[in-house]
Amino acid sequence: MMTTPGVPEGASVAVATLLLLLLLREFLPLSKHWGDSVKTSLNMGILPLLFSFGAVILYKLVDLF
């Protein structure tokens, strides 16, 4: 069984999750439930997804050229 290299099918799910976390990071400070622990938790989810997003974009650009 051979697999082809490329962007995995879950990349779109990762991008959607990144967008959702970024939106939550923008709107949660307006809530009374905002605290340093919530900010840290969101950052822990956003940072790896941001690296994954960058890798997907880099792969697509290299694949294009």
Query: Per-residue confidence at 5, pLDDT binned at 50, 70, 90?
Result: low
Q: Tens digit of pLDDT for each residue in 27-36?
A: 878 777 677 7
Using CB atoms within 10 A of its CB, is residue 16 exposed (0-12), middle (13-18) or buried (19+)? exposed
Per-residue pLDDT tens for 38-54?
788 888 888 988 888 88
Confidence of residue 7 (pLDDT cuts 50, 70, 90): low
Nearest residue to 50 via CA among 25, 21, 30, 10: 21
pLDDT at 14 exceeding the cut of 80: yes
Give the global pTM: 0.71
